Chain A
Amino acid sequence: MSNWTPFAILALALGGAWAVACVEQAVAGVRVAPALVLRRAAEQLDQPLAVPAGRDAWLYHLAPPLLLVAAVVALATVPWAPGFRGVDLSTGAILFSAALAYVTPSVFMAGWGAGGPLAVLGGFRFIALMLGFAMPLAMVVTAVAAPAESLRPAAIVEVQHAVPMVIVQPFAAALFVPAAMAVALLAPFDLADATTELEGGAFSRYTGLHAGLIALARKILVLAVAGMTAALFLAGWQGPLLPPAIWMALKTGAVVAGMLWAGRRLPRFELERLLVVAWIVAIPAAIGVIVLAGLITLLFYR
């Protein structure tokens, strides 16, 4: 990690968020207007801040920056190319899960701090959702790290030089992607801010800079989980002919588009049904995936 790494990550976060917004437009079937994304953002920043009347207003003000920090830290752990591995820690995969863990309190703080019952309901819904899905997410990260015998994301990318992890551990990918979409507040897991159903839910009260920070954080979150999906399961930067960074960008873009595409084509899940799936299916399945990963490691990676 060089002195320039923080600046590179910030540039990646801003540029990536803009790119995610453009992909969002394309997936929604509207004409992609890159300049419009920036103009809308500028308009939003021009708005005054909303100030809640409740006594927990500090939670309301703290939630957007916390969400942004969590998203940027998660993004920083993603290895983008051999020469740009972000925060290249030996426990980077765990740091990724740990950073995502801070999304839950920030969403709840946003809903609770706003004080409206539908905003609070949105916050509670997200806590319930993430109690069920945070564990499979972290467990799957451990499972895909086993063949690499390292929790360093770059090492997990390198161990996929022959076969991508999505082929070696398809069940792990099947568990990781929905959990990643849930933590990134993407449809059909958008229970916290269901637009029509909760009138915007946990984030409904934000305006101006707050709303801008949340919109930015959400797009960075999408980029982070898509980037990590590409790194953990699609062999990251590895691929023939093209430069490594291009491969990583293409794979991340495809994952972002796929996640957003799925969100448009599926109805919002019911919380009760999701919790049943999480606690009865996903968590036991994640334990099974870890056991399977151990066997695969012993048989094929030693």
Chain B
Amino acid sequence: MVVRPLRPAVLVPDEQAWTMAGVDVQAAGFEAAATPAAASVLAGPERIPEELASAVGEAWELICEPRRVEVLGDPFAAGMPLLEALKERHGEHAGMDHDEHAGMGHDHAGMDHGDMMEITGEPSRDGLVMEAADVALGPLSPALPTGLVAELSLDGDVVASCRVRATLEARRDALAPRAWAAATGDLIAGERIVAVELERALSHAAWLRRSAQLLGWPLLADRAGQAVAALVAEAPESIAFDAARCALEVSRRLVESRAFRSRTAGRAVVDAAGARALGLTGPIARASGVPEDARSQDAAYAGLGFEPVTREAGDAAARAEVRAEEAVAAVDLAQEALGADLPAARRSTVEGPRGPIRHGTTPGAAEAVALAGGLVIGLEWSAALAALASFDLSPWSVSAR
């Protein structure tokens, strides 16, 4: 349970990325603000990717005074110093340090961020002449992972067009750092399985929390947050597996709920043939009935009785179900692997939370980003966001385009 009221903050990167870096943002006293205008803090890393510098600077400009910067850690261990990026953008207001207020004019605070409206007057699908509005979400939107941009055109509250793209250059995936390290490092089987499965459980729990927040369901967001808190631990031995499993089982109510299914069932469908043709991987492919999983070829996983989780429907609900079931299975696998005597085979391909990671690449990730936008056309706004979230896209290992 959170013991004090949280402060709305512009989080750089998003809460999920901090979670994967082992930092509990809520324990630090922050929650993602709906807009920079609603925030009083910019909570970020010591260094940020250069590609985010401009967006971070814009967000800082829109945060009202009194405001401050909070440095929560250095998860990227590379990039441009955050404070330098802010100073560079506002050279005349240099001198911002941790907890130090900076002075800037605010006659336009809260305006011009992200979603400027442009009436285009395109005709509606139903024959009525409607005014379409263009919306740009990201790269620092609470509805999307940091670094992802969705450019949409709305016909009323229905998505008329949508294009999703990454704004980051391909690098080590901040949303799967341990799987990335396991694929490029030299871990023995037991360590690898524990690290990767715990990361999968953590990633899926963080995804459940984000989806519950998107659905406006604080109770289940809190429960998923409890699973996250149980899984964020420096040493696997100190993880409360039973607590994590219990919280994840409760969080699964989200994907089984009528409210979630009404937004996701039959939406953004990718069939098995389409998934194979596009080379999609991970939970997206498995939800379409393609049982491909790098763990299936791993003797160490076979020793633990691993079976891939699959569904046939290929819709947003199926992707959510796969993720929720995999989260619980991952906790079980990690707990079993901790005490098991496993074959010492090393592997260069690791099945991360979103698909395989092989030689520093993530096959299928770019294809998923390119595909997602087109599949939400025709959906009402809340259903479109739920469908987009069901892809659990990561912009970190996909080159900007």
- List chain A positions with a Cβ less than 8 A from chain B: 25, 28-31, 33, 36, 43, 46-53, 115-118, 120-121, 124-125, 187-188, 190, 194-200, 204-208, 211, 263-273
Contact = CB atoms under 8 A, between A and B. Distances in A.
A43 B40 contact: yes
Given A30-B5, A31-B4, A196 B142 contact: yes
Given A29-B222, A47-B65, A267-B260, A53 B108 contact: yes
A188 B217 CA distance: 8
B64 A208 contact: yes
Interface string B200-220: 000000000000111111111
A47 B64 contact: yes
A46 B66 CA distance: 8
Contacts of B213: 195-196
Contact of A206 (B110, B112, B142, B257): B110
B344 interface: no
B263 interface: yes
Contacts, number: 152
Nearest to A190: B216
Contacts of B216: 187-188, 190, 194-197, 267-268
A197 B381 contact: yes
B114 interface: yes
Contact of B111 (A33, A51, A198): A51
Interface residues of B, number: 55
Given A28-B218, A268-B217, A53 B111 contact: yes
B92 interface: no
Contacts of A207: 37, 64, 106, 109-110
10 nearest A-B pairs in the assembled complex, by CB-CB distance = A268-B216, A200-B34, A117-B133, A267-B259, A50-B110, A47-B64, A48-B106, A267-B217, A117-B117, A264-B218
Contacts of B32: 196
A33 B6 CA distance: 12
B259 A121 contact: no
Interface in B209-246: 212-220, 222
A28 B215 CA distance: 17
A50 B262 contact: no
Nearest to B383: A270
Contacts of A263: 218
Interface in B3-26: 3-6
B109 A47 contact: yes
B259 A120 contact: no
B37 A205 contact: yes
Given A36-B5, A117-B154, A195-B34, 9 more contacts: A46-B65, A47-B64, A48-B65, A124-B156, A196-B34, A196-B213, A198-B34, A198-B381, A270-B262
Interface of B: 1-6, 32, 34-35, 37-38, 40, 64-66, 106-112, 114-117, 133-135, 137, 141-143, 154, 156-157, 212-220, 222, 257, 259-260, 262-263, 380-382, 385
B111 to A, nearest CB: 6
Contacts of B222: 29
Contact of B259 (A125, A194, A211, A269): A269
Contacts of A50: 37, 106, 108-111
| B contact face: mostly helix, strand, loop, or mixed | loop
A267 B215 contact: yes
Nearest to A210: B110
A49 B263 CA distance: 37
A290 to B, nearest CB: 31
Contacts of B117: 115-117, 120
| A contact face: mostly helix, strand, loop, or mixed | loop
B382 A197 contact: yes
A48 B107 CA distance: 7
B320 to A, nearest CB: 14
A53 B112 CA distance: 9
Nearest to B137: A199
A34 B214 CA distance: 29
27 contacts: A28-B218, A33-B5, A43-B66, A50-B106, A51-B111, A117-B115, A117-B135, A120-B117, A197-B214, A197-B216, A197-B381, A198-B381, A199-B34, A199-B35, A199-B115, A199-B137, A199-B141, A200-B37, A205-B35, A205-B37, A207-B106, A267-B215, A268-B259, A270-B262, A270-B263, A270-B380, A273-B262
Nearest to A188: B216
A51 B5 contact: no
A125 B32 CA distance: 23
B110 A199 contact: no
Most buried by B among A25, A53, A267, A272: A267
Contacts of B381: 121, 197-198
Given A51-B108, A117-B133, A199-B115, A204 B34 contact: yes
Contacts of B137: 199
Given A117-B154, A188-B216, A52 B111 contact: yes
A198 B385 CA distance: 10
Contacts of B35: 199-200, 204-205
Contact of A30 (B3, B262, B385): B3
A116 B115 contact: yes
Contacts of A125: 157
Contacts of A29: 1-2, 222
B154 A264 contact: no
A273 B260 CA distance: 13
A31 B110 contact: no
Given A204-B34, A205-B111, A118 B215 contact: no
A60 B212 CA distance: 31
B219 A265 contact: yes
